[in-house]
Amino acid sequence: MKAIVVDPASASKFGFAEVPEPVPGPGQVLVDVRHSSLNAGELYMAGVLDPGAVLGFEATGLVVAAAADGSGPPVGSRVMTYADNGGWARLRAVDTTDVAVVPDSIDLGVAATLPVAAGTALRALQQAGPLTGLRVLVTGAVGGVGTFAVQLAQISGAYVIASVSSAERGKGLRELGADQVVIGLDGIDRPVDVVIDQVGGPQLVRAYGLLAPGGNVQSVGWSSQQAATFPVGSTLGRRRPITLTSVYNGGGLTDRGTNFRILLDLIDTGKLEPVIGWRDTWDRIDDAVSALTGRTLSGKAVLDLT
């Protein structure tokens, strides 16, 4: 079958090849993939995996073989899936715990934006605790995780501060639910209770310093590629402890399907709107990578398999 594979000789680090069709295990469904998406994590993995590896964390499509153990949806179901690999291929075998049925009212291409970015944003906010009335700062707010985090925090009753790199990049965030849009961290004149951080580096240190006693940082990404150096004593002396938690939405989770259904229900009821900044056929993967790495992409990039 045709697939996008790791290709170190390509400028984007990806190319096309014929690979063996997957053989599903007893607790897996076989999916005819129709749409997938692009994440920064796949770009990172392309630099560490062997040539020919098939990436693609998230994919949507139709079930063409039900799980042999009777779990999961039947043949013909429209589904959203997650796995550590295999989403950029015509067929994908995936555990039924990482599958959710997509309502007919939701475009499968739109649903392909959810498992990684929206799933990570939701998990970060869940780990932060109840948010009603709290001040939540989302850094890197224009990206895939960020646009979902802004909306989900607003849905949860928080006062949302969206941090971006420029005024141009911040357009549209108020419409998504941000109460305040700032450049970097300038203009934040009161402590915040929760930080959803995707930037890392010096900005993470500054964001940590903005936390109210008892606040917490959810570390989602590290786009700055810079070290975070905390001043001596800056983590001491708070009346109530401040926490910093790493957010991981990858393998080993048993409740991912539940969160998938939460996200799909929010879209189905019109409360959540994925931001798709790039969408085209999968043979234009190089263009999608350029948009992501060149920081011209707002929200998510969707690959339509043709």
The 10s digit of each residue's pLDDT in 171-186 is 999 999 999 999 999 9
Residue 149 banded pLDDT, cuts 50, 70, 90:
very high
CATH code for the domain of 23: 3.90.180.10
Residues 254-305: tens digit of each pLDDT: 678 899 999 999 999 999 999 999 999 999 999 999 999 998 899 999 999 9
User: At residue 271, what are phi and psi to the nearest 5 degrees?
Assistant: -90, -20
Query: Is residue 135 situated within a structural domain?
Result: yes
Residues 93, 38 within the same domain = yes
Q: Which of 3-7, 65-69, 106-110, 229-233 has the lowest mean pLDDT?
A: 229-233
| Domain membership flag for residue 69 | yes
Q: What pLDDT was estimated at residue 247?
A: 82
Predicted TM-score of the model (pTM) = 0.94
Residue 161 near residue 137, CB atoms below 8 Å: yes
Per the structure, the count of domains in the chain is 2
Is the per-residue pLDDT at 244 higher than 80? Answer: yes
Is 253 part of any domain? no
Q: Is the dihedral of CA 119, 121, 122, 126 positive or negative?
A: positive
Report if residue 137 sits inside a domain.
Answer: yes
* Dist. CA 4–CA 283, nearest whole Å: 9
Residue type, 169: R
28 and 148 part of one domain: no
**What pLDDT band is residue 245 in, cutting at 50, 70 and 90?**
confident
- Can you tell me whether residue 125 is helix, strand or coil? helix
Which range marks the domain in which residue 26 is found? Answer: 2-113+274-304
pLDDT in tens, 54-86: 999 999 999 999 999 999 999 999 999 999 999
Per-residue pLDDT, 235? 81
Helix (H, G, I), strand (E, B) or coil at 127: helix
> d(Cα 303, Cα 283) in Å, to the nearest integer?
8
Residue 239 or residue 35, greater confidence: 35
